[in-house]
Structure 1
Amino acid sequence: MMKKHVKLIGELFKPLLKGLLSLVVVGFSLSATLAQERVISGTVTDENNEGLPGVNIIVKGTSTGSITDFNGDYQVSVPEQGSSLVFSAIGYNAQEIVIGARSVIDVTMDINVEELEEVIVTGYAVQQKKDVTGAVAVVKKEDLIALPQGNVANQLQGRVAGVTVTGSGQPGAQSKVRIRGLSSFGNNEPLYIIDGIPGAIETVVPEDVENISVLKDAGAASIYGSRASNGVVLITTKKGREGVQINFSTYTGVQYPGSGPDNLLNTQEYADLQWLVYGNDGTDETHPIYGASSNSSPSIPSWAGDTDWFDETTENAAISNYSLSMSAGTKSSSVFASVNVFDQNGTIRHQDFQRVAGRINSSFDILKGRVKIGQNLNVSNIKQPNGFSNLNEGNAINSVYRNQPIIPVIMTQSVTGIVHDYVPGEYGGTGIAARLGNNGNSVAALDRNKDNTYSKLELIGNIFAEIEIIDGLKLRTSYGGRMSNDYYSNYSFATYENAENTATPSLSEGANKYSEWIWTNTLNYSTDFGQSSLDVILGYEALEYGISRGLGASRGGYFSDQYSFRTLNNGATITGAGSYFGTSTTLASAFLRADYSLSDKYLLGATVRRDGSSRFGAENRYGIFPSVTAGWRISEESFLAGNSILTDVKIRGGWGQMGSQTNVDPANQFYQYGASTSSTNYDLNGAGNASVQGFGAVRIGNTSTEWEANESTNIGFDAGLFNNKFEVVFDWYSRQTTGLLYAPELPATFGNATAPTINIGSISNKGVDLQLIYRDDWSNGLSFEGNLTLTSYKNEIVAVADGVDYFDFGGSRIGTFARNEVGYPMSSFYGYEVAGLFQSDGDATASGQDGAEAGFFQYKDNDGTAGISDEDRAHIGNPNPDYTYGLNLMLGYKQFELTAYFYGYQGGDIFNYTKWWTDFWPSFQGQKSTDLLNNSWTPTNTGATVPKASNNSNFSTNGVANSYYIEDGSFSRLRNLQLAYNLPASTLSSMNLTNARIYIQGVNLFTFTEYTGLDPELGGDDRAFGIDYGNYPLAKQVIIGLNVSF
């Protein structure tokens, strides 16, 4: 697999690498032939006479240049015609220095106070950081570089206080991002805005990102109205800059699946466990594989394997990323273009993901700068396997717990099985003998399904124009959107090796297309008068999304499995066919925002937005969402003048309302009717040989549904201490969501009609966000930066519906155990509390508990009545963490940088559902745990916590959900460890490069946790999360990378 991958990468990038090498060779050749060139060197320092890294040096009138290294040193080759050097850096005034006869030029840069004021992208505009009064967090491109990842969402993990990101080890899977808890029974995903256009974060190439702003409270986000109830993530991609620069970055490495479950049995141990069960139950019988139970030990047949299904299912896998970009511009124009190829093989066999993307952003000033026109466009194409799901009971990881070790992956000898006569070289399976269960050979399934695929081509972009009508008054219009086409193909092979097989092969195939558009118009006015400044933005926006069309079909009865034969035409029988039109949603909105500053100390902001949505009936179509914010830059007050500790302190607060219509179906207000041969056709004439088409309700309409309302309050402060070496950002917030949108279950009398979405209860979230930053440049080229983020929230369901205090969600073989109830957090685990194990049959009988006997669970009697019943169930776990944190540490020494990044959860329970398979003998005829063999209850091991190994399956063993499955999900993970080296200026100059950085990096190297499952970082539906069904674990990675600019 690795050799094939490397060969493929080599073929794919051979032309690109040849081109890059050619550029380098040309650069060296030019250096050799320009005999009249001379080398200028020197040091660039700041106002404190300390070396200043990252300063650009350009020979005026040419594209020749260099950049200062970590110590501020540089070297640049100056052509004969070169007469002066231009030094420039962000936050400093540019300087032009005449060369003359000098060979050494040292420069001290002067601070540009206005430029040093950090600018933050907020709703439809930008603000200086000092003027922001909402809860806004920024992640810069420098922070993203420190954690190379295949998707942007993973790079947010632990970087922003108040943002919880749950990753997945599955290549191409999107991480789960939540801002300040859970506020809805439906969709809690934030709104992603990419260069002003709503989009999907997974389409964004990390190398293209300039910065990310996260709007966390209503004061910051309410300008986006109904789409912003879960927060907003604003992604700004890179733009061209003056001059020409080419950047190439790459990393490649190996992923390791890590060790699998360490408590599963081998074949001999499994047979010994069977003998233990016989002994505990007092059973005397002959096992179809191991022989008579009266024997002193079980016999192992010659065909038996000793299979570690985790090892057989997983493998080391390659990962690589290649990104090439070009930035070019003049004072009146700019262009940025990039291409990216990301390839991640799965640590589960054949679960590979590929993404190819390209971007071009451009802008042009015309009419003496009064008019700017431009565009942003991103094109991406992804390809990945179709069909893997963490929540699918038969997925490859779950099968690790369901396949017995005795089953060989590949047969090594002939065996007459119960459903098939096996020969060497065939797949082994549960059809070899009785009592092997009915699970499929997961390796065989992965091998057969390797050609099942899903691909998606997506475009997102916009065109825009800005007109400066008069000084301070600017009109901007932008029209953009998204469109995508996807395709899927699933071929199901006939199987022979399993106890339950697929008799005939089949093919399902289909395609979908999707589009949306958005037109945004804003009028922005900025002015200063006296000691006051005012910024006002007035806007109108219209958009339509969900414009879709799809079709699919399936056929069976294929007589050949050859790939070229897998077309719908070749199937003998039609098993399904259909197409659809999606119901789109339209929004029309008007908004107004004003920000006022007095004396650069007293700040006031106000926003109001009115949204109209086609998802609601006429009487409830429009919603109004206001917010107000205020700030006080107390450090600017005269009574703190000269204070050496409080450099820059701002106290801020805000209140606002937002709405949501996300969880409402576009057709919710309408009654809909449809026809079905099986349910609406009628034999009206009674002849019994014909039917007449009829129609039935397929959706119950509701015109009374209203906007889900989200009200939030935020109080916080930003503090820069000791000349901003130490920064503290703190926020306390309260969010109350009322009129929750939810589709309840309908009585059976409604038939198959879909329930309407209605407004029901409310949810409360309260919490704190904390960020601590310390940075300092020590002597002798040594520097340090530490960044700690802490997120803590308390989620509580305040109300569900009139007369209803809870609802359960999700199902399993032991019923539903995720309960959403008033007074508790969402997705609380619900079941029986295990008080211990019965120590005698007498105690078990006296308890009145159904199925009780010595060694079985004894449940806590919570209602005080005789026996154990449904009323004794209780809340047994909470998957919401007490807090999450991220800690980033960076130590720099001259050209070297060492970065360590930790991420973790404290608190938060996990329902380890895999125990149902492994810790109870009768659950399933699959794999079992060493705990059941070695640590379960016996008359001589009465202190055990694992119940007795028995063939009895009932209420007191594995029949119901209980606290035995609950484990502490706390963990701390070394998410990233990177050692980087930045080439010095002298080396860069000799290679005609402006920047070069090489690094080696380890990802997910260590995880410290008491959790016994594969990985404590779990996703899932917000109404039932924190459940381990056998999820795709995060892989360890070791990669090497290179960033080059010239």
Structure 2
Amino acid sequence: MRKVLLLGLMWFLCSAIAFAQDRVVTGTVISTEDNLGVPGATVIVKGTTNGTATDLDGKFSLSVPQSGGVLVASFVGFLSQEITIGNQSDFTIMLEPDAKLLSEVVVTGYGTQSKREVTGAVSQIKGELIENLPLQSFDRAMQGRAAGVQVSSANGLPGGAVNIRIRGVGSVNAGNEPLYIVDGVQLNSRNDADFTQSNPLAFLNPNDIESMEILKDAASASIYGAQAANGVVIITTKKGKSGKAQFTFNVYAGTTEPLKYLDVTDGTEVYQLRKEAYTNAGNGLPEANALNSMGELPSNWQSLTRDELDQIAADFDFYDWQREALITGQIRNYELSMSGGDDRTTYFLSGSYNQQEATVSPVNFQRGTFAVKLATQANSKLRFETNLNLSTFSQNTPFATDGAFLGNPAFSAATVLPQNPIYNEDGSFNESISGILNQNVIAVNSYNSGQQRTNQFVGNIAANYKILDNLTFRSLFGLDYRLVQGEDYTDPRTPDGRGVQGRGSIQSNWNVNFITTQTLSYNKTFNSVHNVSGIYGIEFRQETNQGISGSATGFPTFQFRTVQSAAIPEDITSFWTGFKRLGTFLQVNYDYNKKYLVTLTGRYDGSSRFGADNLYGFFPSIRAGWYLKEEDFLKSSSTISELKLRVSYGITGNDQIGNFDSRGLYQGVGTYNGSGGIRPVGLANPELSWEKNRTFNIGLDYGLFGNRVSGAIDVFNRESTDLLFPQPILWTNGFGSVTRNVGSLENRGVEFEISTVNVNTPSGFRWNTDFNITYIENELTSLYDGLTELPSDPAIRVGESLGSYFSYEYAGVNPATGRPMWYDIDGNLKYQVQAADRKILGNSLPSWYGGMNNTFSYKGLELTVFFQYEYGRLIPDGQVGFMRENASRLTLNALQQTYDARWTEPGQITYQPRVYSGGTEPRSSGMNTGGASLFNADYIRLKQVSLAYNLQPALLSKIGLTRARIYATGVNLWTYADGYPGYDPEFLGSATGIIPQTRNITLGLQVGF
């Protein structure tokens, strides 16, 4: 007991001595921005955990060592300040705003928020990340750069269409495209002209973009109500900055080439396949039959021996149709911009010209743009703004744009029998092409012509009036006007045009999209800690779309190519459609000292697309945030620099259906007894309503080690209900179905984003990494009338993902016979498949996708390496499917891979069946059926490599420039897709005849003066 008391006394004395060696200092932390105290700022003794937080007036009191040390004062949004303690006992510490942090503003709905205040699931892509990429539309540049956003090319045409899915597929029959907004103008992103594959979003020069924000959860997007079920993409273009006029000239040029050429067999190998096919089928004279099917049987064949017939095939020449059809193209881009202004007025002007040739000549894309952005402060209360974007772009597409693959060089060049010469000896096109593709696709591509031209204007004018210091009225009027015109000509020298002496068509489509938004916004802080803001608005949108088209045949000669030159009018059609939408919305934000944050949103929308009983819908949401870093238990943490918890729930609507799906429509059907007649073409459903999207989201924003590691984690559940389905009805109604709100589906997933500063040395070398990955599951949860599936391919089945393949499982080749085998529903082997043997084999929606960007910089030198990937997806490939039949059913060329792997003798173990002459075996049980026709579409792609050098300021001043940058960029440089034999695993659908994507390499120069 005595020892214990002595130990206790010693501990007390030591503590007293230690305490006596400390002293108390006081002080105030003040913002240089307004000279007011900063409440909640952290003040610690450097190198220790000894610290405190300032009170509401910014004051603090802290015990410090007698020996002194260094005080470190910090607060979010300000630069940290260090002060030596010395003998001083009272301190005034001035904190300066962190300009970089404060500039991290995120555009949300009808306004902006600092990144710290955002409580929804929002991803941001800054314009500098996509600058000078040789891409024609900004949506392509989003690929792999934001978690939860899947971007897939619908085709490889320059300026061609792109599919974007935010957090999965939320509808079966309604649209799945997000809402796009450019500077407050909601765009019509649908291509309503069926004669073109151009992308309506290609009107905007990507280099004019300042930032892109993607609103992913319903709580963030619900302020846009009935049009936000599939997410919202907000594009903000560059604006002027005060100061003298600054000019920037930018030019780049380069080449584009095919991603790959398919490895195909030569004529001798095709002959061998045909010969084996006839032999396996038991047909006599296999050599003669093989040559005959290839169009190479000589008239004296009966006098030739088998060896002599084989020799004919051995002497075949090989003509590389792919390299004749898929060539190297050119890329050119020129831009000039001007920015400047004074304290009252700022301006930004930009002009550009972009031209890219596809790898299929003469397919190309040309675009000219002109953009103006003006802002002027008329007086202390009134401010005017205007944003104007004018563009004209065109595409040449001489082959069929409706997916007719036989006339498409991307399909036919690989499948034409390779012993056919492309040109005659005199240089003219060879018109005698043997095999099923009995046309010279190079000639067809050269003779035919097709062009689509788009003239587009997207702009707005807005006024902001400050009613009170905390209350502002904003009025915006916007317009998206698009005129699309097309001309197509089928030359009379081509097989399709020969019988009608040529065919020509002409089309015009006008789309007018008008929007006006009137808002009142409020912002006030009470007692320095209670921050309240809100916005109330009314919005009206009207869109009309009309078009006319006509075609004719019978041209005098191929030199006459316009419709008015034709002799026989073929048809003329026209249409008009439109819709209106009216909505009102309210959003209220509250936070306590930027620590506890809550946002309530509600929107009431009306749409003319829905039935009289359901014209209006209400779309509410709530989201909240807790800035954990400001809590006492984390304030002094040197490891955790940022930590915020977010939770949200909201409801949005989907009205991406036909404008008159709820109406009972009539259509003119010609004449009866000399008078015009009409008939009903649709059954009305006055109860038709919105598809509803309910999303729950929980997320965590984090920063570690002074934000050297930062990012976000989000978990979400997106439920779509009241799906729009054509539900069967009794035929006695005169119709087979009526569109109704039935069915539901879910998308569940996890998103992970991480940004790291891997290296940051005093010498100036820096290495940053940005990585994102998304895991998502899709499930159809209900249909109607107790049904669990609908007839469809891919399958529509309750409990399965949309895009699922419900088919026959391939079991490989019987080593004894060479015939393909299949598993029945019980797992037994069989030759002939039946409907009852089908099972789910996978689906076309990837389970994982994302991207990784690495940036290296050192004294003006920059290197960017960006990868993009998808995993967990199966796709059919119609072109490869035909070619994997090894010339057995159709007289097409074959893949070298399947030629080498084919079964040829008993005992051989392989996946590729024997060749067989006839339609039954390969069609019903061959490599173009069931699971044998599906391919693993997992891939990782080196999407971008950029190397740039920025001239140093000392040199720039000598040559009179403010900036000079030399750069080289490569896009789609390398793709790893294990086992995928086609052109590109990224494409959706069957990939039959789709123009492949290209590998682009450019060299550029950007100067400022």
Alignment of 1:518-917 (within 5 A): 518-530=515-527, 531-545=529-543, 547-562=544-559, 565-581=560-576, 583-663=577-657, 665-677=658-670, 681-682=671-672, 693-743=676-726, 756-775=738-757, 776-809=759-792, 817-840=793-816, 854-862=817-825, 868-917=833-882
After alignment, is 996-1005 or 301-310 more displaced? Answer: 301-310
Identify the residue that residue 917 of structure 2 maps to in structure 1.
Answer: 951
Query: Do the aligned residues in 2 keep the contact of 1:400 with 1:927 (CA within 8 Å)?
Result: no
Deviation at 1:938, TM superposition (A): 2.7
1:170 to partner: Cα distance: 1.5
Q: C-alpha distance in 2, partners of 1:444/1:877?
A: 40
Tell me how far apart the structure 1 counterparts of residues 443 and 612 of structure 2 sit (CA, whole Å).
Answer: 55
Q: Deviations over 1:24-72 (max 9, x none)?
A: xxxxxxxxxxxxxxxxxxxxxxxxxxxxxxxxxxxxxxxxxxxxxxxxx
Residue from 101, 115, 118 that aligns with 1:116: 101
Aligned to 1:639, the other structure's residue is in SS state: helix
Going from structure 1 to structure 2, the CA distance change for 1:92 and 1:142 (only over 3 Å counts) comes to farther
Q: Which residue of 1 aligns with 2:891?
A: 925
Aligned alpha-carbon RMSD (Å): 2.5
In the other structure, the counterpart of 1:209 is 209
Distance of 2:363 and 2:266 partners within structure 1: 27
Label 1:748 to 1:261 Cα distance change in 2 as closer, same or farther (>3 A).
farther
1:73 is aligned to none
Counterparts of 1:651 and 1:91 in 2: how far apart (Å)? 21
For 1:901 and 1:272, locate their aligned partners in 2 and report how far apart those are by CA, in whole Å: 45
Equivalent residue number for residue 371 of structure 1: 382
CA contact (8 A) 2:609 2:655 kept: yes
- AA aligned to 2:442 is V
Deviates more, 1:956-965 or 1:619-628: 956-965
For residues 48-63 of structure 1, the aligned pairs below 5 Å read none
1:196 aligned to which of 161, 184, 189: 184
Cα distance 1:619–1:503, how it changes in 2: closer, same or farther (>3 A)? closer
CA distance in 2, matches of 1:589, 1:233: 19
Partner of 1:411: 424
Distance in 2 between the 1:572 and 1:390 partners? Answer: 25
| Residues 154/831 of structure 1: CA separation in 2 closer, same or farther (3 Å cut) | same
Q: In the TM superposition, what is the alpha-carbon distance from 1:1015 to its structure 2 partner?
A: 3.6
Q: How many pairs does the alignment contain? A: 883
Question: Would the aligned equivalents of 2:444 and 2:494 in 1 still touch at CA under 8 Å?
Answer: no
Give, in whole Å, the separation in 2 of the partners of 1:279 and 1:534: 84
Where in structure 2 are the equivalents of 1:146-161 lying within 5 Å?
A: 147=133, 149-161=135-147
Instruction: Report the alpha carbon displacement of residue 957 of structure 1 after superposing the two structures with TM.
Output: 3.2
Once the two structures are superposed, what CA deviation does each residue of 1:212-240 show, in whole Å capped at 9, x if it has no partner?
A: 11100011111001111100000000111
Name the SS for the 1:699 alignment partner. coil
| Residues 892-917 of structure 1: per-residue CA shift (max 9 Å, x gap) | 11111111111111221122322331
Partner in structure 2 of residue 170 of structure 1: 157
Contact 1:799 1:805 in 2 (8 A): yes
Report the Cα distance in structure 2 between the residues aligned to 1:972 and 1:466, rounded to whole angstroms: 47
Q: Which residue of 2 aligns with 1:228?
A: 228
- Maintained 8 Å contact 1:427/1:497: no
Q: 1:877 to 1:806 in 2, by over 3 A?
A: same
Question: Which stretch of the first structure deviates more once superposed, 400-409 or 976-985?
Answer: 400-409
* AA at the equivalent of 2:382: V
Following the alignment from structure 1 to structure 2, what is the Cα–Cα distance between the partners of residues 871 and 231?
39
Partner SS state of residue 142, structure 1: helix
Rate the CA distance shift 1:259–1:612 in 2: closer, same or farther, 3 A.
Answer: closer
Out of 110, 118, 121, the position equivalent to 1:135 is: 121
In the alignment, what sits opposite 1:76?
A: none
Whether the 8 Å contact between 1:190 and 1:232 is mirrored in structure 2 is yes
- Match runs of 1:460-539 below 5 Å: 460-495=458-493, 502-530=499-527, 531-539=529-537
**In 1, Cα distance between equivalents of 2:840 and 2:316:** 44
Q: CA offsets, 1:262-315, max 9 Å, x none?
A: 1x1111111122222222223223333245696135343899652222112111
* Contact kept? 2:252, 2:1005, Cα under 8 Å: yes
Contact 1:390 1:1032 in 2 (8 A): no
Structure 1 gaps of 5+ residues are: 1-89, 94-108, 413-423, 683-689, 810-816, 841-853
SS across alignment from 1:940: coil
Aligned equivalents of 1:868, 1:116: Cα separation in 2:
63
- Name the CA distance, whole Å, in 1 between partners of 2:913 and 2:215: 50
In structure 2, how many angstroms separate the alpha carbons of the residues matched to 1:428 and 1:804? 56
Asked if 1 retains the 8 angstrom alpha-carbon contact of 2:268 and 2:314, the reply is no
Deviation at 1:503, TM superposition (A): 4.2
- Whole-angstrom distance in 2 between the partners of 1:501 and 1:333: 63
Q: Is the 8 A contact 2:663 2:682 kept in 1?
A: yes
Cα distance in 1 between the residues matched to 2:977 and 2:768: 27
SS at match of 1:504: coil
Verify the 8 A CA contact 2:274 2:888 in the aligned structure 1: no
- Deviation, 1:437, is 1.1
Conserved? CA contact 2:277–2:888, under 8 Å? no
Name the amino acid aligned to 2:331. I
| Structure 2: runs of 5+ lacking an equivalent | 1-76, 81-93, 190-200
Work out the CA distance in 2 between the residues paired with 1:314 and 1:112.
56
Tell me the residue number matched to 1:440: 439
Aligned counterparts of 2:992 and 2:314: Cα–Cα separation in 1? 33
Instruction: State the SS of the aligned residue for 1:818.
Output: coil
Rounded Cα–Cα distance in structure 1 between residues aligned with 2:364 and 2:979 = 28
- Out of 754-763 and 604-613, give the one that drifted further: 754-763
- Name which of 954, 959, 963 aligns with 1:995: 963
The equivalent position to 1:1029 in structure 2, one of 969, 974, 992, is 992
| Paired amino acid for 2:563 | L
Q: Are the counterparts in 2 of residues 608 and 624 from structure 1 also a CA contact under 8 Å?
A: yes
**Structure 1 residues 92-107: aligned runs within 5 Å:** none
Secondary structure, counterpart of 1:743 in structure 2 = strand
Would the aligned equivalents of 1:390 and 1:1029 in 2 still touch at CA under 8 Å?
A: no
Deviation at 1:979, TM superposition (A): 1.2
Query: CA 1:669 to 1:881, structure 2 compared with 1: closer, same or farther past 3 Å?
Result: closer
With the length of structure 1 as denominator, give the TM-score of the two structures: 0.81
Determine the C-alpha separation between the residues in 2 that align with 1:239 and 1:464.
15
Q: Distance in 2 between matches of 1:303 and 1:426?
A: 23
- Residues 1:738 and 1:367: Cα distance change in structure 2 (over 3 Å): same
Contact 2:889–2:918 under 8 Å retained in 1: no
What is the CA distance between 1:891 and its match in structure 2?
0.9
Residues 130, 864 of structure 1: alpha-carbon distance in 2 compared, 3 angstrom cutoff: closer
1:30 paired residue number: none
The change in CA–CA distance for 1:967 and 1:868 in structure 2 (over 3 A counts) is: closer
- Does structure 1 retain, via aligned residues, the 8 Å contact 2:274–2:917? no
For 2:273 and 2:895, the matched residues in 1 are separated by: 10
1:933-990: CA deviations, max 9, x gaps? 4321233353121111111322653497311112211111111111110100111101
Identify which of 325, 340, 345 aligns with 1:328.
340
How far does the alpha carbon of each residue in 1:514-553 deviate from its partner, in whole angstroms, 9 at most, with x for none?
10100100100000002110011000001111x1222111
Q: Structure 1 residues 942 and 390, CA, compared in 2 at 3 Å: closer, same or farther?
A: farther
Change (3 A) 1:772 1:388: farther
Q: Cα distance 1:758–1:299, how it changes in 2: closer, same or farther (>3 A)?
A: farther
1:516–1:364: structure 2 CA closer, same or farther, 3 Å change rule? same
In structure 2, what is the Cα distance between the partners aligned to 1:460 and 1:822? 42
